[in-house]
Amino acid sequence: MQEKLDAIRSAIGEGIGQTNTRKELFELKMKYLGKTGEISALSKGMRDVPAEERPAMGKLVSDVRAWAEAQFAEREEFLKRKEIEERYQNEKVDVTMPARFAETGTQHPVSLVKKEIIECFEGMGFEIYEGPEIEKDYYNFQALNIPADHPARDMQDTFFITGEYLLRSQTSSGQIRVMENKKPPIKILSPGRVYRSDSDATHSPMFHQMEGLVVDKGITLCDLKGILDEFARRLFTSETKTRLRPSYFPFTEPSVEVDLSCHNCGGKGCRICKGTGWIEILGAGMVNRRVLENCGIDPDEYTGFAFGMGLERIAMIKYGINDMRYLFENDVRLLKQFKD
Ligand code: PHE
């Protein structure tokens, strides 16, 4: 018996020394101390030992069991510490590694002017209307008094999708959509993307417009001038003035081109206003009778004015950007210069 126990002791001692993980250790422990393990088998075998020898033998076996348990516990402790150490080693942070930068964005200059203009007109009681970008020829042209083959179509080189559908070339289409659905008084501002087959330093195939429309009894060109004066003062400086020049749009009559006194030189003439003291900013006019009629509004009872401006152009004027393409390059070094 003693021999057997000695063999078990040395086998355990040797086996434990070779274990490298707690799982291996557990398996070894089960081999000796588990229910069907070798030491447990010896305990069970006590039954067959003659009664007088049993106490001495029993002690021998339980001594080995206690010794084995202590050995396993000790190794368990050792392996646990080893595992933790290895984990620390593997998960160590290299503080000398270059950090990853998270660039924060800023609002785009076009978004900034859009927000500012909306706030300005909302303050004057305008409601916001956004129409579809894929539009019918009818809303973009025909109802605006631009029939098929009308020469005024050349002013806007349009992307047609089918003969009937196109990418809207102006937010003026929103005028019709609103007037078809709402009876005067109407006072709306309509921002949105528009598309024209045009691309150079001052034109982009996609750009943003902001349309204004007011229809009610007794609206005159003076109301248009008053609203635009207020807009000019709010967006630029309190000294900014507006000037109306005769122009032509099929959907307004009379039509005007609106200039602002140069916010940079105050009208004396500089690089920004090309020496003229004035900067062209938008197109406008009194809503053409035909357009009102097309929408079922009686032009003898109601009159109105409309205006439309390009937001990229306004952003360029306001921030002194001389090439529209900068606005579409999304270079954060440029974008970061404009803050809310
Ligand atoms: N839609 C015109 C354009 O894109 C601008 C405009 C709008 C002119 C409203 C008059 C009235 O050029």
pLDDT at 340 (0 to 100): 62
- Average pLDDT of span 283-293: 98
Report the range of poorest mean pLDDT among 19-33, 107-121, 298-312: 19-33
pLDDT tens for residues 29-75?
Answer: 999 988 888 888 888 888 888 888 888 888 888 888 999 899 989 99
Over residues 126-151, the pLDDT tens digits come to 999 999 999 999 999 999 999 998 88
Kindly state if the Cβ of 310 falls inside 6 Å of ligand 1.
no
Q: How far is CA 337 from CA 100, 126, 149, in A?
A: 23, 30, 45
- CA-closest candidate to residue 340, choices 24, 77, 112: 112
Atom 5, ligand 1: which residue's CA is nearest? 308
Which residue has the CA at smallest separation from atom 12 of ligand 1?
283
Q: Please, which pLDDT band fits residue 99 given cuts at 50, 70 and 90?
A: confident
Kindly tell me if the per-residue pLDDT of 103 is higher than 80. Answer: no
- 146, 172, 209, 221: residue to mutate for ligand 1 pocket, most atoms within 8 A of CB: 172
Q: Is 321 in the pocket of ligand 1 (CB under 6 A)?
A: no
For residue 140, the model assigns a pLDDT of: 97
- Quote the pLDDT of residue 108: 93
- pLDDT tens across 253-285, in order? 999 999 999 988 888 999 888 899 999 999 999
Confidence (pLDDT) at 3: 84
Residue 121 Cβ < 6 Å to ligand 1: no
Whose alpha carbon is nearest atom 4 of ligand 1? 170
Q: Is the CB of 212 under 6 A from ligand 1?
A: no
What ligand 1 atom has the least distance to the C-alpha of 310? 4
Three-state SS for 265? coil
For residue 307 and ligand 1, the question of a CB distance below 6 A is answered with: yes
190 lines ligand 1 (CB under 6 A): no
172 alpha carbon to ligand 1 midpoint, in Å? 6
In the prediction, which pLDDT does 138 show?
Answer: 97
**Distances, alpha carbon 53 to alpha carbons 39, 60, 178, 232, in Å:** 18, 11, 109, 114
When the pLDDT of each residue in the chain is averaged and rounded to a whole number, the result is 92
Torsion angle defined by CA atoms of residues 261, 264, 266 and 269, in that order, rounded to the nearest 10 degrees = -80
Question: Counting atoms of ligand 1 from 1, which one is nearest the CA of 175?
Answer: 9
**Tokens (6 digits) for 339:** 């803050």
State the pLDDT at residue 205: 95
pLDDT for the residue 40: 87
The percent of residues in the chain predicted with pLDDT above 90, rounded, is 64
Q: Which of 178, 251, 255 maximizes ligand 1 atoms within 8 Å of its Cβ, making it the mutation to test the pocket? A: 251
Q: The domain 109-338 belongs to what CATH superfamily?
A: Bira Bifunctional Protein; Domain 2 (3.30.930.10)
* pLDDT number for residue 338: 85
Q: What is the pLDDT of residues 226-257, one digit of tens each?
A: 999 999 999 999 999 999 999 999 999 999 99
User: Domain limits of the chain?
Assistant: 2-91, 109-338
Strands 206-216, 134-136: pairing is unpaired
At 100 the pLDDT is: 87
Between residues 337 and 298, which one has the greater pLDDT? 298
Instruction: Tell me what pLDDT residue 206 has.
Output: 96
Q: Across the beta sheet with 242-249, what order do the strands follow?
A: 127-128, 186-195, 206-216, 303-310, 278-287, 252-261, 242-249
Are 282 and 254 in contact by the 8 Å Cβ rule? The answer is: no
> In this structure, what token pair is assigned to residue 34?
């588990």
**In ligand 1, which atom is closest to the CA atom of 212?**
9
The per-residue pLDDT for 152 is 83
157, 249, 258, 282, best to mutate for ligand 1 pocket (most atoms within 8 Å of CB): 249
- Say if ligand 1 is within 6 A of residue 145 CB: no
Average pLDDT over residues 282-304: 98
